Structure 1
Amino acid sequence: MKTYNYTIVTIILLILLSACSNDDDNNTANGEVNIIQSVIAEENLSTISFLVVSNPPEVERGVVFSTSINGEITKIGRSDITGDATIYRIFDVANHSIIQEFTIPDSGVSNMLVLATPISIEAGKKYIISSNNTKPYGVSRQDAQDFLPSSKNNITLEKTVTKDGPPGTLPDAIERYDILYGVPLFVFSPN
């Protein structure tokens, strides 16, 4: 019965994910790009199920990205598969520091927050967008093949990273190239 329920939930999540992943959402005006939504659509990624254990540890999960030109993050959001309010952090990898934190409320659908003050992103630097939670969620290819790194419109998603620890832990312990944990959404706008 549990397998049947997981299958139904996975099918529903796939339908919801495909409904919010068209090219109009992925590429916006003025060269802006929602890179994670683009990768989900282009790689035909689907939600994956995780074994839920009692008293799971807190884990910071994120995606390392870089750009080839200067710009800024103008919007940040959550995918409809997260199912709860999510706090996302933007880390500067070189400085091991949090640049900014955002809480994106659960609205039952993909939810993008327009930033009052965009986050400056420097070409060539590495950043992580991450969240901390005890309920893992993510997307991957059905054949479990690597799809990272992935580049589009001057931005590269390099890898997924994780580390056990409280919120704000720099997720730099485990690297993966076949999954996007947390499915953070952000829009990069070149200068």
Structure 2
Amino acid sequence: MAKYTEKLGKKIAEAIEQDEYTLGEICSIHNISRKTFYQWMIKYPDFEEMVENARLERDERLSQKARQILKQRIEQGRTVTTTRYKYAVDEYGELYLTGKTVTMKEYSPDEKTLKMAISKESDINNKEKKILLQLKEEERILQQELEDQLWEEERERKYQKWLRESAEQKAAEQQTCENEV
């Protein structure tokens, strides 16, 4: 079994992004088990992030390709070309070509495909919105923690200043009392 390194993590993430192999095949190529892969996902947050980013990139590329195909189908429909060959047998029993028929049939855009594409697009948009909201919430929490920390430091600084001033005032009062005696 291979030991986790950042370099190995990047290789695995790149393989996932390329989408040429299944996860099982990727694990076999890199001499790890699927169980190890998932353990690394739990144990190493940077690996989990690389894998998630790779999956998002792969899905985005696939979605982009699907949109291009869909756009082409919407604009042009699709054309199916069928070629038929007609053969005959001559007097010697040999086959020879007697005719060739090429049929081109145009199909209009499929309504079912359009509905599915619109549905998938809204799913992707919802996923992106959810990620954006999550990032904004994390940023808000970090900002609040920073403000709380700054407020706490300011409060501590004022308290220390007050203690110093109180100590100086007490020392000054004691000095005055000693001078009077």
TM category (shorter chain) comes to under 0.3
TM-score normalized with structure 1 length: 0.18
Higher helix share: 2
Query: Rg larger in 1 or in 2?
Result: 2
Higher strand share: 1
Relative to the length of structure 2, the TM-score reads: 0.18
